[in-house]
Structure formats: structure tokens, C-alpha cells
Copies of this chain bind each other. A is one copy, B any other.
Amino acid sequence: MGKLARGVALVGAGMSKFGVFKGKTSRDLFVEAFVEMLGTVDKGIDPKKIEAFYMGNFSSDLFEGQGHLAPILASWTGLNPIPATRIEDACASAGVALREGILAVASGMYDIVLVAGVEKMTDLPTEKVTDTLATAADVQYEVPAGFTFPGFYASMATAYMDKYGATPETFMKVGIKNHEHGSLNEKAQFGAKISTLMEARKTSAAKKGLPIPQWTDEMEFLHDDKANPIVAWPMRLYDCSPVSDGAAVVLLVSEELARQFSDHPIYVAGTGQASDGALHDRESLTSIKSARLAAEQAYKMANVGPQDIDFAEVHDCFTIAEVIATEDLGFFKPGEGWKMAEDGQTSRSGEKPINLSGGLKSKGHPVGASGIGQVVEVWKQLRGEAGERQLAGNLRYGLTHNVGGTGQTCVVHIFEKRD
């Protein structure tokens, strides 16, 4: 156990723009991502050769009133009659769908598998979105106690601050960094630095003849309760990933077929997945056990350690989540993550670049799509196709870390460039 019967490679990847798209359904977003993916297969692919379709989606049931979404998406791209299966593990749905796709290829059942993540969230009013997201928590214990996700992660943030000495400013710096990264990503929901957003507010006020806010820098802006209201202290608006629409897809093939489709396939070096009980039932609020375990499995399979990872896309649904992730993944020791974040070590010029895409914070967080959105970034970076935001150097290993709920699910993948 713990070893795949055969290797698996990525030979294509695509995504829709992430953002708010009134009038578009998850079907439309999926088609956008699918079509972009087809164009990334170096030697081309006839879609009729795809043998199975796995789709991560958290809750089209509640967001769009549509269950049984996988065969419908398949029908919108002419993929029927291949098997079409939906995977749901809350915000880790797409990462787990990827894992299922990998196992399916490894099993020998299929050689060519499409994996997508899809979510259309913005048709509901905000309070209904919050209610829908809350179904990823424990409705028997946590929800009746009044918890929603900003509250959960705020609890983790205060526990972390208390234990290690981080401050709300730590988290603000994570947000600033991810918006800087996202400003280089044309697919990002917020493709602007926080300083740019701040200046735009000043200009807008000036145009309207209103008093011009006197923020001198981003930190001052982020401390302004009106510009950056508290959602659940210490998590403010700019500590929270947005409500988003989006889709992302990757194409998997067995390792032996990889060169038939791609000049530069990206190999799946490791995969790990673990589960946990609800947050109220944990030993610790400052670390996510399922993330540590999933990472351990993925490192073991890939035969590498945290030091070998060139960059990672981690699940920054809230800024605190990124800090904890960098520790759970072994990049930094427990209690050190916040210092590294403050020190700029997780920026694109730092020791361990995190969320080059902008992360969920800036790129957007269509919850059931995010796990594959991360993989699209790793694909681009490892192939040297990330344009303006391409990380320099000879990159070999990229990692994705995708969390469901507060860690009831975590799935970690390690990808490798071999040529």
C-alpha cells in the first residue's frame, strides 16, 4: 500500500478567469477552462480519447440548485458517455478529485482522465453564501453554536497569536504579499496590489469631491476600520478570500503515454490525503493535523522533503491559514511561520515562495475549483509559462495544499519537472 501501480503525468491544464460573473453558470465556466486546457496539450488531444471525468464541486446543490453536475458538465463538452463522477470534500473537493483521477489512472482502468474543479457562488446573496459555506462545518455541533468560517479561522488566529506572538499585522502582510503576487496574474479576481486599490480609493474620493483619505501606506489603509472592516477579529476583510466563480481543469495520462501528448509533461511525484474531526474536537488550534499527515504521505511517496520544494500553492482561505500551512508543510518550524511571512521569505523573492498565483486571497476562491486552480499555477511555473510572474531559476518541485473546512480534509500533491 501507499505506492501507485503506475505513474501519472499532467499533459494539459487550463482555467477560466476567477471572479464574479453574473449570467454565467458553472457549465459556462467549465467550458472556458476545458477549451483553454485543450490548447495547452503540446501535441494535441482529441477529446474523444478522454476516458473518464472527475469533477470537484462543493455545493452546486445549494449554490445553483443543481445536483448530479458531473454528467451535465460532461454533456456540455461532448464527453458523454464516459464515466462522470463528482467528488465533494468541501473546499478540498478539487484536490481530492485530482487524487481520485490519479488513482483511477494508476488502477489500470483508464489511461486518459480529465479532472475539473468548478464552483459558481455569486448567484446567491452574501448571507446565503455564508450559510452554504457553513454546511462544511459540523451542523450538529458547530453551526448551532454560531460559528461560520471567518469565526473558525479567527479562533485559530487568536490561538496562534497567543501561543507564538504573531499580531494582526502579520496577517495583513500575508494579504499584501498575495495581492502583490496576484497583480501579475491576469486570471485573478483582484489583479491589483493593495497599494493600487488604496490609491484608487483616494482618486475616487477626489473625483467625487469627498475628503481624500490620508493613508500613507498599505498598513495604515488596512488598519482603517472603514476601509478594511473587521469580519471576525483579528480577521478583517482583506484577510478573507472572496466569494468567487470559476473553473479549472487538468488532463492526466499514464506516465508511459505522457510524451505522446506533451513535450514537457509534469509528473505527479506524491499525493497525500487525510481527514479529521470538527474543530471543536481537536488537540490544537494552531496546526492542522490532516495537513501534516497528508504532507508526510506526499513527501514519502515523492521521496523528497520540504527543503526540496521550490514553491507552493497553499490554501489561504484566510491569511492565518497560509501561516499555519507553511508550518504544517514543514517549510518552517511550528511558531516560525509568522516570522518568515513578516520577513518576506514567502514572497516571490524569498526563500520559499508561497502562492505565486495570488493564492485564494487575490486569485479568488471558487471553493470547489480552488484545488485545481492551484495545480494550474504549478503546471505553468514548472513549464516556465507563467509569464510576468514566472519564478526564476531551474524549478523542479512544486506543491499544492488544499484544505476542506478547517481541516476535516486536507490533500497535498507534489509535482515534478523531469527534463
Question: Which of A's residues lie within 8 Å of B, judged by CB?
Answer: 1-6, 25, 27, 51, 53, 58-59, 61-62, 64-68, 70-72, 74-75, 79-90, 96, 99-100, 102-104, 106-111, 132, 135-140, 143, 273-278, 281, 289-290, 293, 404-405, 408-409, 411
Contact among B70, B72, B74, B81 with A293 in the assembled complex (CB-CB below 8 Å)? B81
B88 touches A68 (CB 8 A): yes
A58 touches B51 (CB 8 A): no
B66 touches A89 (CB 8 A): no
Rounded to whole Å, the gap between the CB of A32 and the closest CB of chain B is 17
Rounded to whole Å, the gap between the CB of A419 and the closest CB of chain B is 26
B64 touches A61 (CB 8 A): no
A89 touches B109 (CB 8 A): no
CB neighbours of A274 from chain B (8 A)? 80-83
A67 touches B135 (CB 8 A): yes
A139 touches B66 (CB 8 A): yes
Expressed in whole angstroms, the Cα–Cα distance for A72 and B409 within the complex equals: 10
Rounded to whole Å, the gap between the CB of A387 and the closest CB of chain B is 35
Expressed in whole angstroms, the Cα–Cα distance for A276 and B106 within the complex equals: 25
Copies of this chain per assembly:
2
Contact among B27, B61, B100 with A62 in the assembled complex (CB-CB below 8 Å)? B61
CB neighbours of A75 from chain B (8 A)? 275-278, 281, 408
Q: In the complex, what residue of chain B is closest to A254 when comparing beta carbons?
A: B1
CB neighbours of A84 from chain B (8 A)? 89, 275, 408-409
Contact among B4, B27, B80, B102 with A275 in the assembled complex (CB-CB below 8 Å)? B80
A87 touches B90 (CB 8 A): no
Rounded to whole Å, the gap between the CB of A255 and the closest CB of chain B is 13
CB neighbours of A71 from chain B (8 A)? 89, 275-277, 404-405, 408-409
Rounded to whole Å, the gap between the CB of A87 and the closest CB of chain B is 6
21 interchain pairs, CB-CB under 8 A: A2-B109, A4-B108, A5-B6, A61-B135, A62-B67, A68-B137, A68-B405, A68-B409, A70-B409, A71-B408, A75-B275, A80-B274, A81-B276, A83-B274, A83-B411, A84-B89, A84-B409, A87-B87, A87-B88, A103-B109, A104-B107
Contact among B99, B109, B404 with A106 in the assembled complex (CB-CB below 8 Å)? B109
B89 touches A138 (CB 8 A): no
B85 touches A86 (CB 8 A): no
B409 touches A273 (CB 8 A): no
Rounded to whole Å, the gap between the CB of A67 and the closest CB of chain B is 4
Rounded to whole Å, the gap between the CB of A4 and the closest CB of chain B is 5
B108 touches A25 (CB 8 A): no
Other contacts beyond A72-B138, A81-B290: 6, CB < 8 A: A5-B108, A61-B61, A65-B143, A68-B135, A71-B409, A87-B88
Expressed in whole angstroms, the Cα–Cα distance for A59 and B280 within the complex equals: 24
A85 touches B100 (CB 8 A): yes
Rounded to whole Å, the gap between the CB of A76 and the closest CB of chain B is 9
Q: In the complex, what residue of chain B is closest to A74 when comparing beta carbons?
A: B275
B1 touches A111 (CB 8 A): yes
Expressed in whole angstroms, the Cα–Cα distance for A135 and B72 within the complex equals: 12
Contact among B81, B82, B136 with A289 in the assembled complex (CB-CB below 8 Å)? B81
